[in-house]
Amino acid sequence: MATIKDLEPKNVWNNFYLLTRQPRPSKHEEKVRAFLLEWAKEKGVEAFADETGNVIMRAPATKGYENRRGVILQAHMDMVPQKTAETKHDFLTDPIETEVLGEWLGAKGTTLGADDGIGVALAMAVVEDKKLPHGPVEVLITYDEETGMTGAEKLRPGLFKGDILLNLDSEDEGELCIGCAGGLDGIGDFSYKTMKAPKGYKAFRIGVKGLQGGHSGMDISLYRANACKIIARVLLPLIQKYGAKVSGIRAGSLRNAIPFEGTADVLLPADKAKAAEAKVRKIFHDVYEEFKDTDPGAKFSYERLVPKPLTYIEDKVMLNAVKAILACPAGVVRMSSAFKGLTETSTNLAMIRCGRGHLRVYSLMRSAVNTAKAQLASEMRCVFELAGAKFTTTGGYSGWTPKPDTPVYKVVCDVWKKVSGKKMVVNATHGGLECALLGAKYPNWEMASIGPTIVHPHSPDERVKIDTVGNGWEFLKELLLAIPEKK
C-alpha cells in the first residue's frame, strides 16, 4: 500500500512529509520555524527570521538568469488544528499521520495541513535545487495566517528586492487567483449570572457531530449545516415549551472553520423529560432530512448526564442568546456579480463558548466589497444588541482588488497552456489571502496566486489531489523560466 514516501516528485513530497512531523497550529509556530531555519542551514540556503517571526529564504539567480525580474514565492507555515471527536491527537506535540486514499492524500482523523504546507514544500524544493534554472528567488513563509494573517500584517517594508509575488496558497489546479475577500471578526458577548440548579430536574447532554464543516470561505457556498445553529434550534423549544435550564453550551472550534460539532447540557423538569426527548429527536430528524445531501455523516445524541450540573445560566440571558444565534446571518449573504459562482459576502457563525459569566458567540464576516462587509457587521451588531449583548469587531482587513490587466497574469496563463494544454481559469476567491495585506506593504508587487487542488481545508476531511502536486511542480519550474527580464 502506497505511503507519502512513495509519491512523486520526491523532493516536494519529502519536504511536505518533514512538515507533517512539525507541530504547527496557528500561534504555535516555534518548532516549525526552528525546523525551517535548520533545514535551510543544512541545504546551504540563505535564511533568517525577521523580527516578528516570518521566515525568509533567498536563492541567487542561476548562471544566465541574473537579469530576470526577482520572484518572491510566498506561503504560510501554520495550519488549522481540527480533529474528529474520536481522534486522540495533540497538535502541539504529535505529528500528522498521513494516508494515501486513491488519488488523494489525507490525514487520519485530523486536518492534513496541505493548506499551506504544500505551498511551503514547493518553495523549499525551488531553493534547495542548485541546478534549477531561475532568476533571483526570495521565499516568504509567514506565520499565523489562519487566525489573523499576523505575519503578513507585521511584515516590514523594504525586506525584498523582487517585484513579482507568487502566492502558493490557492486550492484549485488550473486556476489563477487575482483577488480575494476581506474579513472581519465579530464577537457577541452576553453577561450572565449563574443560578443554582433546582431540585426535581434531570440532566441531559444534547450533541451533534459528524457534519462536513470546512473552510468558511471556500466551502461556505456549499450550504452545509452549522452546529451552532442546530444546537440553538434544539434549545429554543426546550426553553420555551419545556422549561429547560441550560448549564453549558459549546460549539465550533475556529473562527474560519464551519462548525461541525457541538453540545449543550440542559436540565429538564422530570415530568417533562420524556416529551422533551421526543421533541429533540423530531428536530434532529428534520435537520438530517434538510442536510442529508451536504452532511450525510451527521450524528445526533441525547443522553442522560451524570453527575447533574450544579448550576445553570440565568433563563432570560440564555433565551436571548439562543434567539440571537438563530436570527444571526450565517452562510452566503450575496453571490458575486463579477465572477460566476463566487461568493461575494458571507458570515460564518463559528463558535459558542460560555464560562466565568460570559456567553460569547464568535463569527467571521467576509466580503470582496468593503462597504458590504461593514453593512453585514452592522446587521450583526443590531441582532446582538437587541438581544442584550455587547458586539465588538476585531482583526479587520481589506480584500485584494482584482486587476485583470496585470502583466504577470499573461505569463502565468501562457505557461499553464504550454504545460497542461488547457486554458487557465482566472478567478478570485472568497477565502482570505495574504496578498491583500502584502500588497499594501509592497504596492509595486505584481501578485498572483496558484496552487494544487485541495478540498475541505480546515476540516478533518482535508485532502490534496496527488497528481496536481506533481503538475504544480512542473508548472512552477516552467513559470520561473518564463519570468521576463528587467526593463
58's CB contacts (< 8 A; 6+ apart) are 45, 46, 47, 127, 136, 137, 138, 139
Rounded to whole angstroms, the Cα distance separating 232 from 238 reads 10
Separation in Å, CA 358 to CA 193, 249, 325: 9, 11, 15
Write the burial class of residue 433 (CB in 10 Å: 0-12 exposed, 13-18 middle, 19+ buried).
buried
Instruction: Assess contact for 322 and 341: CB atoms under 8 A.
Output: no
Angle between helices 30-43 and 114-128 (to 10 degrees): 20
> Of 29, 128, 145, 153, which residue is the catalytic one?
145
**CB crowding 54-89: b at 16 or more within 10 Å, else e:** bbbbbbeebeebeebbbbbbbbbbbbbbbbbeeeeb
Q: Would residue 145 show up in a list of annotated catalytic residues for this protein? A: yes
> Of 78, 138, 171, 277, which residue is the catalytic one?
78
Within 13 Å, how many C-alpha atoms sit on residue 79's CB side?
32
Cell of 10: 520526491
Separation in Å, CA 389 to CA 60, 65, 221: 56, 60, 28
Instruction: Assess contact for 321 and 231: CB atoms under 8 A.
Output: no
> Of 227, 388, 229, 231, which is closest to residue 315 (Cα–Cα)?
388
Instruction: Assess contact for 153 and 397: CB atoms under 8 A.
Output: yes
Within 13 Å, how many C-alpha atoms sit on residue 181's CB side?
29
DSSP for 189-212?
EEE--EEEPPTTEEEEEEEEE---
Q: Would residue 78 show up in a list of annotated catalytic residues for this protein? A: yes
Instruction: Assess contact for 393 and 184: CB atoms under 8 A.
Output: yes
Cα Rg of the chain (Å, integer) = 24
Rounded to whole angstroms, the Cα distance separating 82 from 476 reads 30
Question: Positive or negative, the Cα torsion across 70, 478, 411, 74?
Answer: negative
Strands (E), 37-181: 46-49, 55-59, 71-76, 98-101, 104-107, 137-142, 164-167, 175-180
Which phi and psi angles does 422 have, rounded to 5°? Answer: -120, 155
Q: Which residue has the cell 541567487?
A: 60
The DSSP element (H or E) to which 311 belongs, if any, is strand 311-313
Phi-psi sector, 223: left (phi>0), alpha (psi -120 to 50), beta: left
Active-site residue list: 78, 145
